[in-house]
Chains A and B, each alone.
Chain A
Amino acid sequence: MEGIALILIGFFALVAFFSANAGMQVRQGLNPLTGLPGALLPPLLVMMVFAVFHYLLRALKLRSEQILFPVVCLLLIVGLVMIWRLRGPEGIWQQILRGLFPGLLAAAFLVAQPVWIERIRRRAVPIGILGLGLLILTGIFGSVDETGARLALKIGPLPAIQTSEPLKLILIIFLAWFIARQSKAAESRTSILFGRLRLPALGHLFLGVLSAGLAALSLVLMSDYGAVLILGCISITMLYAGFETRTFLDIIAIGLIMSLVMGLVLSVTWKIPAVIQYRFQAYQNPWSQEMMMVDGRSTGVTIAEGPGYQVQQAIYAVIAGGISGSGLGFGSPNYVPLAHSDFILAAVVEELGAGIGVAVLFLFAVLLLRIFRPIFRLPPGRVFDRLLLVGIGIHLFTQVFVMAGGTLNLLPVTGVTVPFLSLGGTALLTNLVEVGLVLALIRRQEDTNDHV
């Protein structure tokens, strides 16, 4: 199953890279075969690495999961084609060498040594402290990008690390550990208010405040709204999943408490940040000729020229693509700012078509279900493992949801990367480590089933 899928993916990669290369050369009036070896080298290399990983999974007898890895491979190939198309060899080698290879290596290590999940669980506190340290270091020494966010940390000669990406995984691990530790003790401590509304126990309340505080802290330190959104979604979902809940009132209570804390922090430190103000104006009408307002004052730039531009171009790209797309190399996704990272879905839809765009979202849905599937099969008592799976699934889901919505102006734009597609070494590395954790959990569960 996995093998056949990988062979098909290999053919897909070769055809896609060939047609992308030919299309780009034809457009410049050159012979379509120019530069073909350089274009075919990355897919061949990547497919070889996929094959090695596949044989590793077979050697480790991971029988029950044949879908997850091919889905990830297909998404990676789509992302690599688009990155090669948009950023040339430089971009694709950066993606492969800084994200794909180390990520698959880490995933392979985790699958081969599932014991490390247990070790990670036992070291959740140091890992959490490490994350907090990274956050503070980035907040102080991080480099500022064009939107004013501090995300990247550059240490010595090493390439810059997007610290906010591993931070999300660290939050998942820490919350999973904390809730799992609390769960046994906290079960009987829910207090009942007004007959229906069951307030969470104090430990949970504290946890909600803690994660809201963490998100607020990263907001203050990093000014990155995408990261805050994802951290918030992860913590609220994991708290919800970790509770012994029967009604949605509980989660509303947690949400209210968390927003209260966030609101308090923000009202002390800040007004509504300017970025959010004008992004929301652009969300209401990207083509509006009204002035962009910050704190009620005009900035002298119309919304259509300012923050609306990116959304307009993304929508134009989607329209230009149509159902079957312009063909690789024949579209103009370069008009969309950040088409190679945040807005890669717009580029995919323009050049490969809405047909493949929908299929990509479908693949993400399959991926999410495959990540959640082991939850039903784990023996009782593995609260940490279940919560880890929930957190990882929600992390991937939120990223796709926010960016798919942002590309079509169904949601206000928030800059997050699309997992497995966007250019970004650290983000890809983190996502592949998460896939490795899922596969390792499945392998460990298979082992215990055999020994029953």
Chain B
Amino acid sequence: MDWNLILFITKWATIGLFYAVLLLLLFGVYREMSQNPHKVTPVKPVPNGRLRVISAGDDGHLRQGSVLDISADNRLGADKDNDILLRDSYVSRRHARLRWDRANWWVEDLNSKNGTMVDRHRCTPGVPYPLTVGSILSIGDMSFELIDQDTGYADGASKTGCLTTGGRHSPDLDWVLCPGRLFFG
């Protein structure tokens, strides 16, 4: 037997098999990434979303875990003429506006006293800020999670709240830029 040839073959077979496993695993990663739920919400003409109460503050009328229906344009605040009445003592009378522009949810702070936060980012008054499914909206002492109307819960991928609809950077990069949001989002 020509052992030189056999050893030559086994050497390249070792390398080839190693790369075969590597490519198989990379293919697995690729396949998983291509069916990843990290997708920009498709345009839906009807408003799609509800608010789940995470913390009700000192509003005795809301219960933690209950779900609020929202329409395409909502005004939130402590006054009775608001669409969504929040009786927490840190909520201003006209606090914020939450609306659907046929593609995304936007929240706009209406010059409230204690501010509006999305995923712990304070919104500049008067400037709409995008909300995605899974975003946490904090108003006064109260906080809400935007959930999907159909499935009833925020999908796992966007629960970190780092996925903004602006798409400026990918969520995979986002944790480098704002690691704190990974943990408190």
Q: Which residues of A line the B interface, CB within 8 A?
A: 1, 4-5, 8-9, 11-12, 15-16, 18-19, 22-23, 26, 32, 66-67, 70-71, 74, 78, 183, 187, 240-246, 324-325, 327-328, 352-353, 355-356, 359, 362-363, 366, 369, 372, 375-380, 383, 386-387, 449, 452
Contact = CB atoms under 8 A, between A and B. Distances in A.
A11 B182 CA distance: 41
B30 to A, nearest CB: 11
Nearest to A179: B183
A375 B25 contact: no
Interface stretch (B14-22, B40-48, B64-72, B125-133): B14-22
Interface residues of B, number: 39
Contact of B175 (A352, A375, A378): A375
A337 B136 CA distance: 55
Interface string B71-111: 00000000000000000000000000000000000000000
A377 B156 contact: yes
Given A8-B21, A26-B7, A352 B14 contact: yes
B44 to A, nearest CB: 22
A67 B180 contact: no
Contact of B179 (A4, A243, A366): A243
A355 B22 contact: no
B159 A379 contact: yes
Given A244-B120, A246-B178, A246-B180, A66 B28 contact: yes
A343 B131 CA distance: 50
Interface in B137-177: 153, 156-157, 159-160, 171-172, 175
A74 B24 CA distance: 12
B3 A377 contact: no
Contacts of B157: 376-377
What are the 3 A-B residue pairs with the smallest beta carbon separation, nearest first?
Answer: A19-B10, A244-B180, A12-B17
19 contacts: A5-B25, A12-B18, A12-B21, A19-B7, A32-B6, A67-B32, A243-B180, A244-B184, A324-B15, A355-B19, A359-B19, A362-B22, A363-B22, A366-B25, A369-B29, A376-B159, A379-B156, A386-B182, A387-B183
A228 B182 CA distance: 27
Contacts of B25: 5, 67, 70-71, 74, 363, 366
